Copies of this chain bind each other. A is one copy, B any other.
Amino acid sequence: MTARETRYFGKPVRRNEDPKLLTGRALFVDDVDLPGMLHAAFYRSPYAHARIRSIDVSAAKAMPGVVAVYTAEDLGDYWQPGPLLVPPPPVHKMPVFNKRTQVPLAKDKVRFVGEPIVLVIAENRYIAEDALERIDVDFEPLPAVVDVEAALAPDAPLVHEDAGTNIAAHVIQEKGNWEEAAAAADLIIERRFFYDHGHAAPMETRGIVAHWDTRMQTLTVWDTTQAPIPIRNGLAGMLGLSEHQVRVIAPFIGGGFGPKIMMFYQEEVLILWASVQLGRPVKWIEDRRENFLAMTQERYQIHEAKIALTREGKILGVWDSFLHDTGAYIPYGLTVPLNAQCTLLGPYVVPHYYSEFKAVFTTKAIVTPYRGAGRQHGVFVMERLLDIAARELGMDRTEIRRKNFIPPDAFPWDNQIIYQDFAPLVYDSGNYEPALDKAMEMIGYRRFLEEEKARYRAEGRHVGLGIVAYVEGTGIGPYEGARVQVQPNGKVIVATGVGTQGQGHFTSFAQVVAEQLGVPVEDITVVTGDTAEFHWGTGTFASRGAVVAGSAIYEAAKAVREKVLKLASEELEVAPEDLELADGKVFVRGAPDRALALGDLAVKANPLRGAVAPNTEPGLEATRYFGPPRGSTASGVHAMLLEADPETGFVNILKYVVVHDCGTVINPLIVEGQIHGGVAQGIGNAFYEQIVYDESGQLLTASFMDYLVPTAMEVPPIDVAHVETPSPWNPLGAKGVGEAGAIPVGPLFAQALEDAFDNAFEVTEIPLSPQKVWALIHGK
């Protein structure tokens, strides 16, 4: 399907969901207020690493208004580690895998500051918080494990003693033979790169309301999760309930970005369990400090990397060995470091590749995917290596990239390693040169190099240009499903299992259906994230919503369209080919007065008398599932003009350009919004934001006073252009776009900054900051 032939698909339709959001009528978890509702607060570890000698909750329990105080002792069978969300991948070499997952409440030992130890339930949150003050825990502090390299020293304190090591996992993937590449090389570049912790900092923190109905024996849960169905399935299992007894609703959510996929947060298990215990609704809304301490984070990796090239700038091979800080536990498995490993290869032909990583336990917050999910690190390493190589070879930085691009006729392109979805890392389609050309044109690459740069320098201004490329694996399986129904009032309801955190699903999914059924987008209601409406699927992550759920919706809408045509053909006594769907009606082509409203057809399809024929289904409804054989590969080029102030180290982004290929664009407004948001988060992660732990494992940046999220002042206007190479692996031709904006901003910043100072220094660490830029400029 191409946008040219369409009425709704591919059009910049305004978002169906916005009136509700803008007028304050959207339901968020904290809006849920139930009669008899209790409130929870957590006593969390003040130590990064300590033994718990004893816990005294008697004073807290005695407080008026306190309903229950739970420690690990009270949990019985529930005091056990959570499941591993994603099992270890079937890679060839994995010498170590230590599955260590969190427990609901710490018992003998705590492993990061903020780990829950005691749960207090009270009549209101004030009382619950006050009761925390009366809890007395006797700790024996242990040395914190903060630095991943130190964590691997023979005498390092162990985060999990029973593992006998701080290595959580050790994975090696290889393509070809690096040694051969190195032997044949004219040039080998070798560097050490560091990418520090960042935080997703969603506008809405986590929150849960659980309501156990003792008479119905059902548990209704409102949860800020990105994956309501797996949450339902998993928590039902943990609580000994059947899945159908648990309904999880992920209503409107103020930002997910990955950390809200996690399952299961200790709080999720506990709030549900407490509601069942007490037979009353229980609410917990995370406060901002808790969000910084206990929501999962990302980003800390140290890479030792080498690239081997010919003198003409052809890549012969890449060698990379990195340490990945997984925090105190590894519930999500290896998705993040696998993504780093895979995304490093980028849009380039890399004949030989050796990549090895160790995931390392530290006494810090747990690491799970956050927008980009490890891809940042891979792109940072590769793009930096290419920049340095271009300099060494005296080549133009765009030329070295262009020379190594996978050619457009080489797809599908097999990278011969395993991706996070456990399938071979094969790129479906792509065309990288036009994107590079377009970005160069939009940023004014030639003009900058040939004229403007010199002019800036003459004015004493440190303006630099950055331009980087990347690919992004998106839209992985296993599958999503959807139900599409034309209702008797002619309106269409679409239900799917993925949750929504602002992606515009209510509109882009509606466009997919509108196109098939000829019903205006505003007459199509999309329901997401409610297991009572649709209870199969995995969730919103890995830039997969439009690709996987969108394709399931497309298939379901197509099936409904076929039902409509069949029934209308019988009713109007006209061949289906002679019928047309538009404006909520079925018309006879060339005789527009011979029309049936879809709603009236829906009524006819669901009679109260007569018989519905064998092997048919009543109504105008269809449910379909879609599982892509492999993920679809998005790609792009970002470019920026940046001016740095050598006195303060502060930067000002003069221009920001994104040329992106997410395959077929369903709604350009939404795609561009996704890219804008991603770039904003990328800029924050590259320059403003940094999670800082001190050597005792205390988080020094646990508020927005210390953790600086960019505001509208710091984010420049962003020009976006599209290249469309439709994915052959889904019926929409779509590729994901949710993470694209955030991925390549680090190396882009680095390159532009170096350019602004004519390569007087080399940037090998992200995030930057005014202080760090100042130090680089001044050689400190």
Number of chain A residues whose Cβ lies closer than 8 Å to a Cβ of chain B? 61
Are B609 and A627 neighbours in the complex by a CB distance under 8 Å?
no
Return chain B residues, CB-CB under 8 Å to A491: 242
Q: How far is the CB of A745 from chain B (nearest CB, A)?
A: 28
Stretch at the interface among A56-64, A268-276, A481-489: A481-489
Convert A596-621 into 0s and 1s, putting 1 for each residue whose CB lies closer than 8 angstroms to a CB of B: 00000000001111111110111101
Copies of this chain present in the complex amount to: 2
Are A479 and B612 neighbours in the complex by a CB distance under 8 Å?
yes
A525 at the interface (CB under 8 A from B): yes
Return chain B residues, CB-CB under 8 Å to A161: none
Are A477 and B609 neighbours in the complex by a CB distance under 8 Å?
yes
Are A609 and B86 neighbours in the complex by a CB distance under 8 Å?
yes
The answer, among B421, B611, B617, B625, for a CB contact under 8 Å with A477, is: B611
Are B611 and A233 neighbours in the complex by a CB distance under 8 Å?
no
Complex Cα distance, B618 from A527, in Å, reads: 20
A243 nearest CB neighbor, chain B only: B487
The answer, among B31, B608, B617, B627, for a CB contact under 8 Å with A614, is: B627
Most central of A35, A420, A495 by chain B CB within 10 Å: A35
Main secondary structure of the interface of A (DSSP, over half): loop
A458 at the interface (CB under 8 A from B): no
The answer, among B533, B619, B628, for a CB contact under 8 Å with A536, is: B619
A:68-92 near B, CB below 8 Å = 85-87
Convert A17-50 into 0s and 1s, putting 1 for each residue whose CB lies closer than 8 angstroms to a CB of B: 0000000010100010011000000000000000
A:86-126 near B, CB below 8 Å = 86-87
Complex Cα distance, B246 from A491, in Å, reads: 14
A237 nearest CB neighbor, chain B only: B488
Most central of A85, A487, A525, A626 by chain B CB within 10 Å: A487
Convert A449-477 into 0s and 1s, putting 1 for each residue whose CB lies closer than 8 angstroms to a CB of B: 00000000000000000000000000011
Are A242 and B478 neighbours in the complex by a CB distance under 8 Å?
no
A215 at the interface (CB under 8 A from B): yes
Q: How far is the CB of A768 from chain B (nearest CB, A)?
A: 35
Complex Cα distance, B244 from A724, in Å, reads: 36
Are A536 and B618 neighbours in the complex by a CB distance under 8 Å?
yes
Convert A621-633 into 0s and 1s, putting 1 for each residue whose CB lies closer than 8 angstroms to a CB of B: 1010111111000
Return chain B residues, CB-CB under 8 Å to A609: 86-87, 420-422, 476-478
Are A611 and B479 neighbours in the complex by a CB distance under 8 Å?
yes
Top 9 A-B residue pairs of the complex, sorted by shortest distance between their CB atoms: A612-B627, A477-B611, A479-B612, A35-B35, A244-B493, A611-B627, A478-B612, A243-B487, A532-B532
Name 18 A/B residue pairs within 8 A (Cβ), A-sorted: A27-B215, A27-B216, A237-B488, A237-B489, A242-B487, A242-B525, A243-B488, A243-B493, A244-B525, A479-B612, A481-B617, A481-B618, A536-B606, A536-B617, A612-B625, A616-B625, A616-B627, A617-B625
